[in-house]
Structures are given as structure tokens and as C-alpha cells.
Chain A
Amino acid sequence: MAPKKDPTGAIADDAVADLEIIRKQLDREIRKALAKLDTAPGEDTLVKQQGRVAAQVASQIDATMKAKGLKAITGVLRDRAIESALAALGGVDLPVSVVTEIDAIVKSQTADIADVFGDASSTIRKAIALGTTTSASLSDLIEGVAEKIGATVTKAQAAVDASVMAAGRTAVIRAATEAADGLVDLVYLYSGPEDSRNRPFCRVHVGKALTESGIAQADNGQGLPVDAFAGGYNCRHVWSPMTMAEARRRGIEILE
């Protein structure tokens, strides 16, 4: 029997494809807006005119970022991630309440993306100001702006990845709880790379197992729920359920 497509992965791919479309749209809009800098007539008034146009362009970019970029990416996260991520563990039904939890995770991600766009918008304003004061060529300026948009989209991709990972971790815990209910006590092994890139929280927890209440009490110091985000934003670690008795047999430290 052929395995069905992993919907969590499909979301990530769809989201990345959508982000690429958004990036192109933003790029087009901003290039159009920046082209206005070319319309400032007369060399003696060039700097003054450019300054005024640059201010208009900057606010257009702000509006574009907020209205198109953020709205579109929010759409990607909400419309695609929530429902599909729930089906990440094929054949396992998850309680409806998980939708609410994952919705909350996605909402927190959109706040991060808003920050990303805010930063990019500010960087682009600076790039425009720099272009105006140094009379750098318009093409250089456009390239600079395009680079900033690219960096923003890369960060947004990271946010999508983090959101999908968070949804997956939550789904694993909920599915395991349901599977073991009334049969056996489970713990969750903090599983993943052990290297110098580990955050302090991950360094302490990797290779150890936590009970569900241990996870609920754990604090990654980043204000993010540990069950969904493990050590924090873009954490590489995942939860591997195992029976508490097996963890004890294997000498794994259990944090309750």
C-alpha cells in the first residue's frame, strides 16, 4: 500500500510556494513605487524632490507590506496549516480541541511575521534614504530593496516551518495521549541533535524524558509553550513518546 502524502510536509511546500508568489508581488509593487524616484525633474531640485517622493514611496511600501504581505502570509498559515497539520499522523483522529490550540500557535506566529515585516519596512526606508542622499543609482536601490524582501521572505519561511513543526509536536502529544489512555503511562523523550548549537534548555533536556505535566511545567525562557515549540522558535528537537517503564529500564532520567 502506498503511503499517503504527509500533509504537514505538503503544507510547508504549499506555504513556501505561496510565499514565493507573495515575494514576487511585493517585489513588483515596490519596484513600481520606486520607479517614481525617476520622475523627479531638474538636477537642482533633485535631492529635495527625491526626498519627498522617497517619503511617499516608503509609506506605500509600508502599506504594501502590511496589506498584502502580512495578510497573504497570515492566510497561508491559517488556511493551510491548521487543518492539514492535524492530519499529520495519518489514521489517527485528534480531538477537536487541538484545533483551538494550533490556531493559537498560528496566531503567535503571525505576530512574529508582523515583526519581520515591520523590520523589513524600516530597513527599506533606510535603503531609500541612503539611495536619496548618496544619489545611488535606482537599479542599485531596487536591488537593495529586493534583497531585503528576499531576507524577509526567508524569515517568513522560517516562521512557516516553525509553525508546522509546532503543530506537529502538539499533534504527537495529543495522539499519544489518546493512544495510551487507560493502557499505559507514557513519557516523552526530548529527541534530536546534541551539539554546540543547542540552546541551554535543549542542552539540559536532550536525552531526557518528560511526563505531560513535566512538559506543561517546563519553561524554555522564550515565552513559548514547550509542548509545541520545545526549546523555542525553530527548535530542532521533537517529542518521541515511550512508555514510562521503558524509560526507566533504559535508565533515562524522567522529569515529572
Chain B
Amino acid sequence: MSIVVTRSGGPPRVPLERIAKLVATLAPGLIRERTGEGLDVKDRPFKPPYSRDYLLAKTSAGRNPGVNLTVTNGLLGSVAAVSVVVTEQGFTIVIAPGAGTSAATRFVDGVAKRTGKRSPTHSVLGAIHHYGRGQMPARPWLALSPKDMASLMRQLLDAGIAIPLRGR
């Protein structure tokens, strides 16, 4: 997803580069937090719940039973601003999961074990969760939800910055 700011009026009090860096710093955490709490891009609980077998395997290994796209936290932990482009007209920040991988794990006898293999890249894994694939249902997570956007605006105001942001 990306955040776009188009400048209007006179020059801002804080240079656009500084604002862009601050947004790039704050926004990924909002997506991580909300997803980790089991809420989708519309701030609603993820649906559907995990399958009975997966839930049993996950909970028996001591993991959180909620639908929160988290086992190793590799996917959510990799979410970052991967591109910040500032022009005279404004800036665009692209936020995405990383292109790296996590150690693949398998739940065996109540324990999450490393298989020695690697997961798909986090960006691919993130897209699979976001759009769904095969039997994997879509669980849209990669965007700033209305509450995320409101929080981001409040935090910018904390820094004395009032600027219109647009997510896409």
C-alpha cells in the first residue's frame, strides 16, 4: 500500500522530507499493531476463523489462538516503508512486507519446529493473506485502516504537522 501527500498552498513549516521520514517511521507500526490485534483493514475482526486443525496445532504449541497472521512474527515484523519518494508536489511512501523469508515452522506434537526450509517471501505471503489463494481465505490487512489513518494524523499533529494524507 502507499501513502500519498500532495502539497497545496505555501511551503510547509516542516520540510516535506522530514514529514515523509516521520510518516515512514510511524505508519508501519500501525499496520503491525492492528493486524496483530486480529483486525482487518476496516477495523473488523478477521474472518473466517482458522480451521479447527490449524487452531488446535497452533494453540497446543502455546501460540496465540487469534487470527492475527502471526506465528514467528516474521511477516508483520518485516512491514516497513520500502520506498520514500519526495518531490516538490508532495511525497509517496510505499509500505510493504519485506522480500525476505522466515524459517518455515511446522507444529509437531505441540511444538513449533523449524523444518530447515524457508517460508515464501514475506511479500508473497502477505499478498496470499491479503487476497486469498486456493483454500486460503482473503484476510485483507495491508493498508491503513480508518483508525490507523486517524492515529497517524493525530501523531503528526503531535509534531505540529497538519497535512492531508491519502492511502491507496
The answer on a CB contact under 8 Å between B84 and A90 is: yes
A19, B138: Cα distance in complex, Å: 35
The answer on a CB contact under 8 Å between B24 and A89 is: yes
Instruction: Answer yes or no: B103 CB below 8 A from chain A CBs.
Output: yes
Q: Is the interface of B mostly helix, strand, loop or mixed?
A: mixed
The answer on a CB contact under 8 Å between A9 and B121 is: yes
A196 to chain B, nearest CB (A): 4
A4, B2: Cα distance in complex, Å: 13
Q: Give per-residue flags for A88-109: 1 if the beta carbon is below 8 A from chain B beta carbons, else 0.
A: 1111100000000000000000
A157, B101: Cα distance in complex, Å: 12
Instruction: Answer yes or no: B10 CB below 8 A from chain A CBs.
Output: no
The answer on a CB contact under 8 Å between A192 and B99 is: no
The A151-185 residues at the B interface (CB cut-off 8 A) are 154, 157-158, 161, 164-165, 168, 172, 175-176, 178-180, 183-184
B95 to chain A, nearest CB (A): 9
Instruction: Answer yes or no: B42 CB below 8 A from chain A CBs.
Output: no
Task: Enumerate 29 A-B pairs (CB-CB under 8 Å) in ascending A order.
Answer: A1-B2, A5-B99, A6-B78, A8-B100, A9-B98, A9-B122, A91-B84, A154-B116, A161-B103, A168-B77, A176-B25, A178-B21, A183-B14, A183-B22, A183-B161, A184-B22, A186-B25, A191-B33, A192-B76, A193-B68, A195-B62, A196-B62, A197-B61, A197-B62, A237-B73, A240-B29, A241-B26, A245-B155, A246-B158
* Beyond A175-B24, A191-B33, A242-B151, 15 additional pairs, beta carbon < 8 A: A6-B96, A6-B100, A13-B100, A89-B81, A90-B80, A179-B22, A179-B24, A179-B25, A184-B155, A191-B36, A192-B70, A240-B32, A242-B155, A245-B155, A249-B154
Measuring CB to CB, which residues of chain B are less than 8 angstroms from any residue of chain A? 2, 14, 18, 20-22, 24-26, 28-30, 32-33, 36, 61-64, 68, 70-73, 76-78, 80-85, 92, 94, 96-103, 112, 114, 116, 118, 121-123, 151, 154-155, 158-161
The 10 closest A-B pairs by CB, nearest first: A9-B100, A240-B29, A91-B84, A6-B98, A196-B62, A184-B159, A9-B98, A179-B21, A236-B73, A3-B82
